[in-house]
Structure 1
Amino acid sequence: MKDFITIAIFNFPQETFVLKSILDNEGINYFFENETIVSIDPFASLAYGGIKLKIHPNDKEIVQKILDNLDSNLKIV
């Protein structure tokens, strides 16, 4: 996992829930850095630089497509 790269940063754990499901269904290896500390203390998100989505560089194109699709289709009501 030392070769993993950051492809996206989120401020709140709620922002990662749908994305986790999609990545799991696609079989993509990933992890969210700082997820636990931000879940415990949401105000720590800024101090730690947010929740960072880390992926293997080989998955960059497909994950970027997933993120772009979520940005255009996921509306928060």
Structure 2
Amino acid sequence: MTDFITIAIFHLPQETYILKTLLERENIPHFFENETIVSVDPFASIALGGIKLKVHPDDQERTQQLIDNLNNPLHIV
């Protein structure tokens, strides 16, 4: 996991729940740095720089697509 890079930063654990489910469903190896401490002490998010989503560089594009889809949920047909 030393090769993993930060692709997104969140300030609240609630912001990561849906994304975590999508990443697991897509079998994308990942981890959320600082997730546990921020869930115990939300003010630690400021001191630690937030909850950092880390993925392997090979999965960066797929992960970014998932994040973009979450940020743009409206699809007009």
After TM superposition, is the score higher than 0.5?
yes
Identity, in percent, stands at 65
Distance 1:10 1:73 in 2: 18
How many residue pairs were aligned? Answer: 74
Deviation string for 1:17-66 (max 9, x for gaps)?
Answer: 00010000000000000000000000110100000000000001100000
Distance 1:72 1:47 in 2: 29
Q: Which residue of 2 aligns with 1:46?
A: 46
Distance 1:20 1:73 in 2: 17
Instruction: After the TM superposition, list the runs of 4 or more consecutive aligned residues in structure 1 that deviate by more than 3 angstroms.
Output: none
TM-score, normalised relative to structure 1: 0.94
Please list every run of 5 or more consecutive structure 1 residues that lacks an aligned counterpart in the other structure. none
Q: Which residue of 1 aligns with 2:33?
A: 33
The one-letter code sitting in structure 2 at the alignment partner of 1:47 is A
Q: Which residue of 2 aligns with 1:68?
A: 68
